[in-house]
Amino acid sequence: MIVLSVLVTILYLLVVPFCIGINFTRFFDKKYNTIGNILTIGFITELVIFQLVYLFAYFGKSNFLYICNIFTIAIVFCSIGFSIKAFQSVKQITLPKIGIGFFVFVIINILMVVMRNLYGVNDGDDAYVLGNALTVLTNGDLFRTDYYTGLAISSKSYLRHLLASNPIFIAYLANMTKIHPTILAHRVLGSFYIVLHNVIILNIARLLFDKDEEKEYGYLFASLVAFITMWDFHSYLTDSTFILTRAWQGKSMFCSIIIPFTIEMFLIIGRDYAKGEFPEIPRYSNKLLSIINPKLNGDSNKYRYHKVTVKDIYYPIITYLCIASVAMTPGAIVLFSIFVFILALWTSIATKKAEIMVKTLLFLLVPMIVFGIIYFKYCRILY
DSSP 309: E
Nearest to 183 by CA among 134, 244, 112, 256: 134
- Percent of the chain at pLDDT above 70? 83
Tell me, what's the pLDDT at 302? 44
Tell me, what's the pLDDT at 313? 77
Query: The whole model's pTM is what?
Result: 0.87
Q: What is the Cα 144 distance to its own chain's centre?
A: 27
Tell me, what's the pLDDT at 354? 87
Average pLDDT over residues 18-35: 82
Nearest to 190 by CA among 269, 245, 118, 230: 245
pLDDT-derived band at 235 (thresholds 50, 70, 90) equals low
Average pLDDT over residues 246-272: 89
Tell me, what's the pLDDT at 171? 93
**Rounded Cα gap, residues 340 and 363, in angstroms:** 11
Cα–Cα distances in angstroms (integers) from residue 134 to residues 9, 153, 175, 179, in the given order:
18, 16, 10, 12
Specify whether the CB–CB gap between 261 and 198 falls below 8 A: no
Average pLDDT over residues 172-190: 90
DSSP 284: S
Share the mean pLDDT of the chain: 81
**Rounded Cα gap, residues 367 and 9, in angstroms:** 30
Average pLDDT over residues 342-362: 89
Tell me, what's the pLDDT at 338? 93
Least confident of 88-97, 168-177, 192-201: 88-97
pLDDT-derived band at 327 (thresholds 50, 70, 90) equals very high
Specify whether the CB–CB gap between 196 and 261 falls below 8 A: no
pLDDT-derived band at 97 (thresholds 50, 70, 90) equals confident
Does the pLDDT value for residue 227 go beyond 60?
A: yes
Domain boundaries, the chain: 2-379
DSSP 143: S
DSSP 32: G
Helical residues (DSSP H) of 140-211, grouped into ranges: 166-177, 181-183, 190-208
Long-range (24+ apart) CB contacts under 8 A made by 81-84 are 82/19, 82/20, 82/22, 82/23, 83/19, 83/22, 83/23, 84/288
Least confident of 27-41, 116-130, 203-217, 246-260: 116-130
Least confident of 113-122, 129-138, 234-243: 234-243
- Percent of the chain at pLDDT above 90? 28
pLDDT-derived band at 266 (thresholds 50, 70, 90) equals very high
pLDDT-derived band at 62 (thresholds 50, 70, 90) equals confident
- Angle ∠(116,122,124) on CA atoms, nearest 5: 160
